[in-house]
């Protein structure tokens, strides 16, 4: 049985956030066994904490939002994906605001932070969530199913209906190396026609081509080149890794995702917790 792991030392980063557009700091710190991923709002009186679990999610509109006492933290999925893919089980995530830096819109900067900190094995065995029967959720055109498998795999199809470029499919075994090589550089993206509505809703105030790719008809607007030919589906898979880490254990099963998004990802994580009786 594999042992739990944490970081060897603490690491921090500061940068602009996507939705609020403010400068924020994030600090990742080693934590004792059975801590899981715990977020701390160090800027709020009493420094409230919140476990990164699906049962503690309070909003999934455009990003995954977790409750820290009465203070929310949102857009945590890219950090959580990097922690999960690095096989970290226990970590304290300190934040001085409601959102971590978006950096380039991918998980790679967080992987670099974790690699800088190093990984340390702990003495207690890890508990694994082994999927024994199919569990699924359906919301509108989105479907997410997890079925038994020897490993953790994600097979994902996306289609937004605004361009032929937006139909993409990929299937991948998720481990530290495959996540680093195949998913971690995939950036956040949005559909051009949605930008005005998001801005009116007070979101994406820090959004720019430094941290997002924009899809407009058959044109892709981004800084530099696309990082992968199918960057959109890969970012959706990255989001699934982050959101499904909210089960709170390592997963063994294959996820088949059709048009996934934060709401359905979190719904599946909740249903897994419920079915497994955690
Ligand atoms: Zn994302």
pLDDT digits (tens, 9 = 90+) for 218-275: 888 998 889 999 999 999 999 999 999 999 999 999 999 999 999 999 999 999 999 9
Residue 160 banded pLDDT, cuts 50, 70, 90 = confident
* Residue 276 CA to ligand 1 centre (angstroms): 27
Say yes or no: do domains 3-127 and 130-237 share a fold.
Answer: no
pLDDT digits (tens, 9 = 90+) for 70-100: 999 999 999 999 999 999 999 999 999 999 9
Domain borders along the chain are: 3-127, 130-237
pTM of the model: 0.96
Q: Name the helix (H) or strand (E) containing 71.
A: strand 71-73
Distance of CA 63 to the CA centre of its chain: 9
* Residue 176 CA to ligand 1 centre (angstroms): 18
Does residue 19 have an active-site annotation?
no
Q: How many residues does the chain have?
A: 278
* Residue 1 CA to ligand 1 centre (angstroms): 32
Q: How far apart are CA 199 and CA 201, in angstroms?
A: 5
Residue 163 banded pLDDT, cuts 50, 70, 90 = confident
Inform me whether the pLDDT recorded for 32 exceeds 80: yes
User: Which of 19, 78, 235, 262 is labelled catalytic?
Assistant: 262
* Residue 131 CA to ligand 1 centre (angstroms): 25
pLDDT of residue 236: 97
Specify the fold of 130-237. Answer: lpxc deacetylase, domain 1 (3.30.1700)
* Residue 114 CA to ligand 1 centre (angstroms): 18
Tokens in use for 13?
């980063």
Mean pLDDT of 103-124: 97
pLDDT digits (tens, 9 = 90+) for 226-241: 999 999 999 999 999 9
What percent of the chain stands above pLDDT 90?
Answer: 79
Q: Name the helix (H) or strand (E) containing 233.
A: helix 231-244
State the architecture of 3-127 in CATH terms.
2-Layer Sandwich (3.30)
* Residue 244 CA to ligand 1 centre (angstroms): 13
3-state secondary structure of 268: helix
């Amino acid at each position: 049985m594999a042992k739990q792991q944490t970081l060897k030392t603490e690491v921090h980063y500061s940068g602009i956030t996507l939705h609020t557009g403010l400068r924020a700091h994030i600090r990742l710190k080693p934590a004792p066994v059975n801590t899981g991923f715990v977020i701390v709002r160090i800027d709020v009186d009493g420094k409230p904490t919140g476990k990164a679990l699906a049962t503690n999610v309070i909003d999934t509109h455009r990003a995954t939002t977790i409750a820290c006492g009465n203070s929310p933290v949102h857009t945590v999925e890219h950090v959580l994906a990097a922690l999960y893919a690095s096989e970290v089980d226990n970590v304290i995530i300190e934040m001085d605001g409601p959102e971590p830096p978006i950096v380039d819109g991918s998980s790679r900067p967080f992987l670099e932070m974790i690699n800088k900190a190093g990984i340390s094995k702990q003495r207690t065995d890890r508990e694994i969530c082994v999927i024994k029967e199919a569990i699924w959720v359906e919301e509108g055109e989105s479907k997410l199913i997890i079925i038994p498998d020897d490993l953790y795999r994600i097979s994902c199809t996306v289609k937004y209906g605004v361009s032929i470029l937006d139909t993409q499919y990929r299937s991948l075994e998720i481990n530290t190396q495959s996540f680093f090589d195949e998913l971690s550089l995939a950036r956040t993206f949005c559909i051009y026609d949605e930008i005005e509505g998001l801005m009116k809703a007070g979101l994406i105030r820090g959004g720019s081509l430094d941290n997002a790719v924009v899809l407009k008809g058959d044109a892709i607007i981004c800084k530099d080149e696309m990082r992968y030919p199918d960057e959109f589906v890969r970012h959706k898979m990255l989001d699934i890794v982050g959101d499904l880490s909210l089960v709170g254990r390592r997963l063994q099963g294959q996820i088949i995702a059709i048009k996934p998004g934060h709401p359905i990802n979190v719904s599946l994580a909740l249903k897994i917790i419920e079915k497994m009786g955690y």
